[in-house]
Structure 1
Amino acid sequence: MTEEHRGPMPGRPPENRQEAMRKLVWIGIWLAFLGAPVSDLLKEEHTAWATALGWLALAAFVGVYLALVFRHTARPLARATVSSMVAFLFCLAVVTSLTLDSPWLVLFVYVSVGCGAALPLELARWAIPGVTVVMALTGLTTRGQWGDFLPGLAIPALLGGFAMTGVRHLVRTTVQLREARATVAQLAANEERLRLARDLHDLLGHSLSLITLKSELAGRMLPDRPEQAARQVADIEQVSRQALVDVRAAVSGYRRATLAGELAGARTALTAAGVAADLPAAAELPPGAPPDAEEALAWVVREAATNVVRHSAARKCLITLTERQTLDGRFVELRIEDDGRGGPSAPAPGNGLTGLAERLAKVGGGIETSCGKGFTLVARVPLAQERGSAAPEGRDAR
C-alpha cells in the first residue's frame, strides 16, 4: 500500500510538482470571478485597439497576481519586490477601471487579497481599506450603476483581504508550533543522552576504577606473588562480568518501548498529520498483565499510528485501552479505529501486522482487524486470574 499524499503542509513550500500544481489550482480557482472583465471584452463594445490592450492588461494582471500569491506564500519574496508587484496590480486596476468601465472594478478585490497575502501585516491593515476606498472613488467615475457594484465588490475586497491576513496568522502560528515541537524533541533527545551518559558513568565509573586498580596491583604482584596476582585477575574478571551485565540491563531498559511513550508519540504524529487524535489519558495496564504485555501493546500503538498517518487518509483516530471480562477470562483490549479508507481485513505475510501478531502471541494475546467505514485494529492480551476467584459455573472442581 503506497503512502497517501496529503499535499503541502501550511507554512511549508511544495516539495514536488504535484504539490505545486495542487496549490496553483487552489489559488487559480478564485480567478473565476474575473468573468466580468472577460465578458466585457467579449461583448466587442470597445475598439479593436482597446480590446487588445484589455486582453493584454488582464493577462499581465493574472500573471503578476499568481506570481505574487503563489511564490510569496511558498518562499517569501523581498519586500521591495512585493511592494513593486502590489503597486503594479493597483495601477493596472485603476487604469483599466477608468478606461474600460465598471466591470473592471473587480480587479481591486484581487489587489486587496494580494495585499493581505504578501504585504507586512502592519501595512496590510491599512492597505486593504485604502484599496477599497480607491475602488469606491474609482467606481464613482465609471458609467455603470455604482450603487449596484458597491455591495458586491467592497465587501469581498475587505473580507478577502483581511481573511488572507488571518490565514497568514494561522500559517505563522503553525510554523512556530512546528519549530517549537522540533525544539522540544531535540531537547528531549539531549536530555535522554545526558541521562544515558549519567547512568553509564554511574554504572561503569566504579567498576572501571576498580578494574584499573586491581590490574595495577596484579602487575606488581605478578613477579614475586603469582598466586595473589591470580586472585586479583579473578576479581577483575568478576567485576568486568558484572559491569557487562549492568550495561546490558541499562541499554535494554532504554530500548524498551513503553505504552505511555508510544501514546505520546502517536498523539504528536497524528496531530502533525492533521488527524484528530482521541487517546486515553492513562496508560497503565490492569493487574495480572504479563510482564511483556506493555511492550507488545506499545508496538501495536506505534505500528497502528504509523499506518494511520501514512496510508489511511483519515481525519479522526480513536485509541482506547480497556479491561474486558469474557467467557474465556479477563483481557486487556487495545482498540485503534480510524475513519479512513480502510485496509486489509487480515494480516498479510511480510507486513507490520504479522510482526504485531507474533509479538502478541508471545504474551498469549492476539490481534483482529476489520474494515468498513475506516479501519479497526483490536489487540487483546489475557490477564492472570485473581487468586481466590470462584471457578466458572458449569465445571466440576476436581
Structure 2
Amino acid sequence: MSPHNGLRHSAAEAADGTEPADGETESGLPDAPAPRLARVILMAALLSFLLITMLNVLSEGLGTGMNLVALACLAAIFTLQLRHSRPKAHRAPWRWKAAALGVQALLTYLPLLVFQAEWGGMAGFFAGSLLLLLPPRLAWPLYAVVGLSMLLPPALEGRSVLDSVYLCQSTLLTGLIVFGLTRLADLVHVLHDTRGQLARMAVTKERLRFARDLHDLLGYSLSAITLKSELIHRLVPAHPQRALAEIRDVLAISRQSLADVRTVASGLRDMSLAEEITTAEGLLTAAEVDIRVTLRPGTMSQQVNTVLAAVLREAVTNLLRHSKADSCVIEAVQHEGRVRLLVENNGVDPDYRDPSAHSGSGLGNLATRMREISGELSTDRGPADTFRLVAEAPAFPERPWSGADTAVPTTRKPAA
C-alpha cells in the first residue's frame, strides 16, 4: 500500500468508527493512554495518599471514635479533590471556588489540632487544589505558604527540625503530584479529542481532494465526448468514414476517462503539460477553433507539470462549455525559473452566467492547486469578447509535495 493510500485508509477508519490494530493509533503511531486510564491513575494516586494518612492516624491509637472522624474527614477531602481535579474546574465561578477551597482549608488545618503531624499529608491536597483552581500569580505563592505552614506541627510537638523539613517537603511534593497528574489527565483528554478532530479533518480533506480531482479530470473528458458526439451526429449522413474515426476518438477518450477515475482513487495523478497541449490542439481543431501554440516550458518538477496540465484542462473545458470561440492562444514559457501558462480565447458572452446549481468550482480548485506550488492564477476579460487565463509558478517550488517531485523534461509530442 502506498503512503497516500495508507493515510486515506486510516482516516476512513477513524470516520466510520473502526478501530486500528492494538497498540496503534489512526496515524499508525503507538497508542496514547486513554482518558479513562489517566483518570484512574489520578484516583489511584489520591487514594494512596489518603491510605497513608489513615495508616498514620491509626498508628496513634486514638480510639475508634477518632478514627471514624478521621475517616469521614478523609472521605470529604477525597470528594472535594475529585471535584477540583475534574476537567475545566478552574473555569468555575469564583464564589464556588472560594467556598470549596475554604472547606478544604478547614478539613486540612482543623484536624491538625487532634491528629497533629500525622495529618500533615492532607496539606499536599490543599496545595494542589490551589494550583488547580487559582490563577498562577496567586496560586504559587499560596502553594508555598501552605508548604511552609507544615514546618509548625512537628515543631509544636517537640520533634526535630528534620521532621519539620520532611513534612514541608512532602507537602510540596504531594501538591505537585496532584497538580501534575490532574493536568496530565486533562492533556490526555485533549489529545484524544484533537486526534479525533484531525482524523475527521483528514477525511474531509481527502473528500475535497477527490471531488477536486474528479472535476478537473472528468470535466475535460466529458466536454470532449459531448463535442465529438455532436460532431459525429452531423457527420454520419454525409461523411460516415470520418464519423467512424471520430467514434474511435470518443472510445479512446472514454477509456482515458475510466483510467482517470482510477487515477484519482489511487492518488497517483501525475499529468504532462506537453501531452495536454497536444490533446487540446486536437480537440479544439475538431471544434473548428483556430489554435496557436507556443511551447517552451523547459524543465520543471512533476508537481508543477501536473498542476499546470490540470489548469490547461480546466481552461479548455471552460472554453468549450462557456464560449463560442473560433480562435485560441496557448503559451507555456519558462523565464528565469518561473513557468507561465497563458490561455486566451474569444467568443465570450459578457453577460453569460451559468444558472446551474452544480456549475462546478474548477477555477477555485485550480487557484488552490496553484497556491500549493507557490504559484498564482489570474483571469480577466479582455477587449471585446476575449477571456484570458494566466497561471504562473516556480519551476521547482521549495514547498514539499506528497507526490513524486522529480524533474521532468516537457518535450512536446507531435500532434495527432
Q: TM-score range by the shorter chain?
A: 0.3 to 0.5
Q: Based on CA coordinates, which of the two structures has the bigger radius of gyration?
A: 2
TM-score by length of 2: 0.46
TM-score by length of 1: 0.47
Answer 1 or 2: higher relative contact order, Cα 8 Å, separation at least 6. 2
